[in-house]
Amino acid sequence: MVRAQDARAEAAGRGAVIRTLIDCGSAGVPGLVRRLAELPAGSRLDGVAGPAGELWFVTGGAGTLCARGHEAVELHPDRGLWLPPDAPYQVHPTGPDGLRLDLAELPGGARAPGAAGPAGPDRPLARDLGQCAAEVTGDRRFWVLFGPGRDCASATQFVGEIPPGRAPDHSHPYDEVVLILRGAGVVHMGGLARPLAPGTCTHLPPGLTHCLENTGQGAMRVLGVFHPADSPAAKLHGG
């Protein structure tokens, strides 16, 4: 796991900064890569989406995404985005507070078992959190922005809310990377306990027993991306 403030800041384009939080690849095998982009007012981010596409989420500020050959997309908080593979893009902040983005690059060429066709549409798509129906597992709620049946066959992007307290330990059948958006708590994983705060990013490999505990008074909000695609409720064991 890593805190955003501890990740190395790298200049990207005209005044933008990129921080790589998690790279799940190993031994030459590509995996999910989680980055944060910070664009102060007047800056610009130029880039090309990864070979399997990317899932973005706007964590703050406002801006515009321009992908070559497609209409511009407005960026505002709680908006998720799908970028098709190898799509060149420019991002411009449009307000005085700049723009902050979570960028998840999907593993090259991978799809969920049994999934047919491309990972997603060949054009950028935007979906607001308010457009997504809440799903419930136990005392926790989550909203799927992109996933199977929601324009991305290879990975799932969701926002979850965890009430105060600790759920039973469990594990998942997929690689999951979780970013804390709001609240504080503790992640229990592999027999260790580590503190969680906004900006903390944690990698939970398949089969790793873990639990996110909310030690605050209000709901803790998390942004999760996992691969292969599945439901956030899918578990190998535990509740």
Ordered by where they begin, the domains of the chain are: 2-110 (2.60.120.10), 129-227 (2.60.120.10)
Q: How far is 53 from 60, CA to CA, in rounded Å?
A: 22
Nearest Cα residue to 50 out of 91, 82, 3: 82
Q: What is the pLDDT along the chain (239 residues), one digit of tens a residue?
A: 899 989 999 988 789 999 999 998 876 778 899 999 999 999 999 999 999 999 999 999 999 999 988 999 999 999 999 999 999 999 999 999 999 999 999 987 544 433 334 578 999 999 999 999 999 988 889 999 999 999 999 999 999 999 999 878 888 888 899 999 999 999 999 889 999 999 999 999 888 999 999 999 999 999 999 988 877 766 666 55
The pTM (predicted TM-score) of the whole model is 0.91
Q: Of 181, 174, 170, which is closest to residue 222 (Cα–Cα)?
A: 181
Reading the block at residue 231, the tokens are: 């439901």
Given a contact cutoff of 8 angstroms between Cβ atoms, the answer to whether 222 and 178 are in contact is: yes
